[in-house]
Amino acid sequence: MQQIYLEHSIAEHEQTAKILQRFPRAHITRIEHFGEVFNPRAQNFRLQKKSPALILARKQGKRILTAPAGYGLGGKHNYYFSHMQNCAYDCRYCFLQGMYRSAHYVLFVNYEDFLADIQQQTQLNPHESSWFFSGYDCDSLAYEPVSQFARSFLPHFAEGPAWLELRTKSTQIRSLLQQPAQNNVVVAFSLSPEPVIQALEHGTPALQKRLSAIQRLQQHGWRVGLRFDPIIYDADYRSMYQTFFQQVFQQLDGHSIHSASLGAFRLPRNFYRNMLHLYPEEPLLAGPLSEHQGMMAYSGDLEAQLLDYCEQQLLQYIHTEQYHPCQY
Amino acid sequence: MKHNNIRIKKTATLTPVTQHDLYIVCALDAEARPLINHFKLKRLPQHSAWPVYQNPQGVRLIVSGMGKSHSAAACAYLFASTGGETGHGILLNIGLCGHAEHERGHLLMADKVIDYHSGQSWYPALVIRPQCGYTHLFSFEQPQTSYPAAGMIDMEASGFYSSAIRLTSAELAHCIKVVSDNKRQSSSDLNPALASELISRQMPSIIEIIQQLEKTQARLPTPWNRQVFDTLCAEHRCSVSQQHQLKRLLLRWQALGGAATVMDALAPCKSMQDLLRQLETELHQQSLGLSIN
C-alpha cells in the first residue's frame, strides 16, 4: 500500500495503529472525512483500481441496514453492514465499479460501534432469528490480513442468537482455522466456472483453490454456503455450467452445504451506464442485456433459460431446502 | 449512396494515437523554458491571449502569468483551444514554489491543493509513486515573505487545479513544484536564469513523473471510432437522440469484435430508424454467440 488517507477522528484508534504498522513506507495524508477523497466527481475508477489507496475512517450514522425484501436465507430479520467499501478483487461484473466514483479501499475501523449496533438490533427481536450479512460492499475475507475483520467480529457472535454470513471469494481463511467453528456463522463462497474466473474475476483465487479452502473450513467444522451469483451467459453455457457443477460437487458433499443460491448477472441501470463508460470494450457489457424496471439483465427468456438450466443442474446435488434463489 | 466502403477491420477501428496527450501550465516563461526546450515545442502564432506552445507529438504548454485566476483561465484555454478530450489528458502545473524547510532545488508533488484564503481543497489521486514524494500545496493571493503554512506555497495551483479537475480526472491532474526559496534562502536573488536552471536540474525527475502518468493514462479505454459514425450520419438524416443511440450501438459493435458482416447487413437500410433497428437486431444475434473462452 503506497498511499493511506487517515481521518483525524480515528488517528488514535487502536485498529489504526495496527494497520499503519503494516505499511511503514506508505505516504500518509490526514483528512477530515473520507468523503473528501472518496466522493469527488472527477475520479476514474478504472485508473485507481490498479493502485488504490487505503482510507481509514470512522463509520458514522446508520451502520446496520435492513436487507432488501427477498434477500436472505430464511431468517425472519435480515440486515447487512459494510465495514469496508470496495474490494481487493477486480471483477468486471461487480456493481461497485458503477456505484462508487473511487476505487480506493475505505476501511471503517470503529468495529466496536458496528458490534454495539448489531447487539442492539439483535435485542429488538430476541426470540426470532436475525441474520447479519457482511460482504455487500466488499469481500468479507480478502482483506483480512490487514483488516482483521473476521478475527474481531466472530467472538461477538459466539454466544448467539444472531447469525452472521461472511461472503467471500478469498482463501484468506487462517483466522477462521485458528479458532473453533461457530454454528451461527456461515462462510459463503462465491463460485464461478474457471473460464468465467479467468475472463472476468481478475485477481481472485482459482476455482480449485476456493474449493480447497471450503474443504478445509468444513473439516474444521465451519458451515459453508455456496453462492452461484452471477451466472454469466455464454454461447455454450449448458456445457460450461454442467462441467462446473460436476467439478464443484465432485469435491464437496452437497448435502453438507449450509445453503446455496443462484442469481443471473444483473445491474441497476445507472451502475451499468457508469461501467459501460469505464469499460466500453468489455464484451460482458455488450452482451444480450435489456432493461427491465430499472435493472439491466439478460434479455427476454434468456435469463429464465439460464437460471432454469443451472437450477436443474444444482438440484441434482443438493436438497431443495438448501436452495435459496436470488430474487430482485 | 451505399456504405459498403465502411468495411472496417477491428484493427482499423483504433484512432491513431499521438505519443502524448499532455497539457502543461507554467506561470512564467522562465519556468516554461526547460520544458519548451526538452519537448521541442513551437509557439503557435494564432494565440494572442497567452503564449501557447505545441509539438507534433501532442505536448501543449501555456504560460499563464502569475496568480490563481490567470492559471485557471489559461488551463481551460489551453485545453479547449488545442482540442483536448475531456477525461483523457494529463494536465500539469509545473513551476517554482516556496517551502519553509526544503532546500532550494528540491522537487515535490502535491497530495492536497489548498486555496489558503477560501479554505477550499482538492486531492489529486496519487496513483503513481514518484521519488520526490508528496506534500500539501497552499496557494496564496499575494507573494509571501514568510511561510505561514506547513507545505509548499505558491500563487497558482488552486486556480489551476479547480480548472483542471473539470477537464480530466484526479489521477491525471497534478502539481509538480521545485522549491525556489525557504526560511534560510529568500527569493530575493531569484531571476529568470536561476528559475530556468532550478527547473532544468529537475527535468529528469519531471520526465519520469510524466512517463509514470502516461502509463496510468494508457489504461483508459481506446477512443471510439468516429469514422463509421460520421459515415453513417452523413448518409442518413438523424436526430440528436438517434446520434446518441447510434454511438451506443457502435460502441457495442466495437466491443463485440467489430465484425464487418454487421456493417454489410446495414447496407439496404433506407433511413436512420431502419438502420438503428437493424443494427440492434444484428448486435443481439452476435451477442448470443459470445464466448467466454
Which residues of chain A does B257 touch, with a Cβ-Cβ cutoff of 8 Å? 283
Q: CB of A239 within 8 Å of any CB in chain B?
A: no
Digit-by-digit pLDDT tens for chain B (293 residues) are 344 444 433 333 334 445 889 999 999 999 999 999 999 999 999 988 999 999 999 999 999 999 999 999 999 999 999 888 888 999 999 999 999 999 999 999 999 999 999 999 999 999 999 999 999 999 999 999 889 889 999 999 999 999 999 999 999 999 999 999 999 999 888 999 999 999 999 999 999 999 999 999 999 988 777 888 898 999 999 999 999 999 999 999 989 988 888 888 888 999 999 999 999 999 999 898 888 86
Which whole number is the average pLDDT over A37-58?
Answer: 96
Interface list for chain B against chain A, based on CB atoms closer than 8 Å: 87, 111-112, 121-123, 125-129, 133-134, 165-166, 168-173, 216-217, 219-222, 224, 251-252, 254-257, 283-284, 287-293
Alpha helices by DSSP H, listed for B236-271, are 240-255, 260-265
Whole-number mean pLDDT of chain B? 90
Which whole number is the average pLDDT over A306-326?
Answer: 94
Task: Give the pLDDT band of residue A150 (cuts 50, 70, 90).
Answer: very high
pLDDT of residue A327: 66
Q: For chain B, what are the domain ranges?
A: 22-217, 224-288
Helix A111-124 × helix A149-157 angle, to 10°: 30
pLDDT of residue A136: 87
pLDDT of residue B3: 44
Q: List, for residues A77-136, the tens digit of each pLDDT value.
A: 999 999 999 999 999 999 999 999 999 999 999 999 999 999 999 999 888 889 999 988
pLDDT of residue A125: 86
Closest by Cβ to B219, choosing from A36, A47, A299: A47
For B156, residues 6+ apart whose C-beta sits below 8 A from its C-beta are B25, B27, B64, B66, B67, B68, B70, B71, B93, B95, B139
pLDDT of residue A160: 76
Whether B128 sits inside 8 A of A286 (CB atoms) is no
Q: CB of A300 within 8 Å of any CB in chain B?
A: no
| Alpha-carbon torsion angle A178, A184, A187, A188, nearest 10 | 180
The dihedral through the CA atoms of B195, B201, B207, B209 has a sign that is negative
Instruction: Give me the architecture of the B22-217 domain, per CATH.
Output: 3-Layer(aba) Sandwich (3.40)
CA distance B289 to chain A (A): 5
pLDDT of residue A45: 97
pLDDT at A21 over 80: yes
pLDDT of residue A75: 79
pLDDT of residue A103: 97
pLDDT of residue A328: 61
pLDDT of residue B18: 55
Q: For B133, name the nearest residue in chain A, comparing CA atoms only.
A: A27
**Cα B89–chain centre separation:** 2
Among A68, A73, A88, A81, which residue's Cα sits nearest to residue A227?
A73
Closest by Cβ to B171, choosing from A48, A276, A285: A48
pLDDT of residue B223: 73
Q: Domain A3-322 carries which CATH code?
A: 3.80.30.30
What is the rounded CA–CA span in Å between residue A226 and residue A215?
A: 12
Q: Angle A102-A104-A105 (CA atoms, 0-180°, nearest 5)? A: 130
Tell which of A8, A39, A44 to mutate to test the B interface (max B CBs under 10 Å).
A44
Q: CB of A32 within 8 Å of any CB in chain B?
A: no
Q: For chain A, what are the domain ranges?
A: 3-322
DSSP string, B151-179: SEEESSHHHHHHHHTTTS-TTTEEEEEEE
Residues B149, B230 contacting (CB under 8 angstroms): no
pLDDT of residue A76: 82
CA distance A125 to chain B (A): 44
